[in-house]
Amino acid sequence: MMQTTGEVITLHEGAIAAEFGVSRTPIRQILQKLAHERLVETRSGVGTIVAPLNPAHRERDLIVVKELLRAASICVGDTPADMRMLDRLASAKVVADRAREDAQGYLNIRIEILEITSDFAPDPIIGDAIRAAQWRHIRWRMADHGWAEGWVIPMLRDLLRNGAERLEKGGPAAFYGYLADVEAGGQTS
């Protein structure tokens, strides 16, 4: 399925298809979706590889996440809270409360946050950008084993609880603004 050469991980459509017992078409579609989210890249003469993280861009990557959340807060205006978004946050809080304090638990919580912030973004372009930026942020934290810091999972649980309160009281603008402020404070993981 994957071949690792130094820091480059190459994904082979045929091997993945064989491993999962499907044709190459759905694998190609999945890889295209991952490329759209900037998780993989297709390079001529090499194939599809896992998109590398550039250490020189790490701080910029965090700025991108927080500023996209700020943009969502501004673009959504004074729109009232959507019941679907409130329900989705309630479900995410349940996932977070049940999550183990390990890498998988961390990933599950971050995916919940990623899906809520991107799926309910006021504009599909902002939503797609938030999704890609948050995936990059998650990858950085997973590479650092940031999930292993004892305060991280409880902080993410608090983030969901506090975010839900802000959504209920101030609508989506308050929710996105709160998340941007947490990101700006460097406390989010």
Lookup result for tokens 């292993």? 148
Least confident of 105-109, 111-115, 129-133, 148-152: 148-152
Mean pLDDT of 151-172: 93
Give SS3 for 9.
Answer: strand
Question: Residue 5 pLDDT > 50, yes or no?
Answer: no
Residues 130, 142 contacting (CB under 8 angstroms): no
Average confidence score pLDDT of the chain: 88
Give SS3 for 14.
Answer: helix
Structure confidence at residue 96 as a pLDDT band (50, 70, 90): very high
Mean pLDDT of 126-137: 93
Burial class (CB in 10 A: 0-12, 13-18, 19+), 54: exposed
- What local confidence, expressed as pLDDT, does residue 42 receive? 83
Q: Cα separation of 29 and 147, whole Å?
A: 30
Computed on alpha carbons and rounded to an integer, the radius of gyration of the chain in Å comes to 18
Residues 105, 155 contacting (CB under 8 angstroms): no
Residue 93: how many CB atoms within 10 A of its CB?
Answer: 17
- What local confidence, expressed as pLDDT, does residue 183 receive? 80
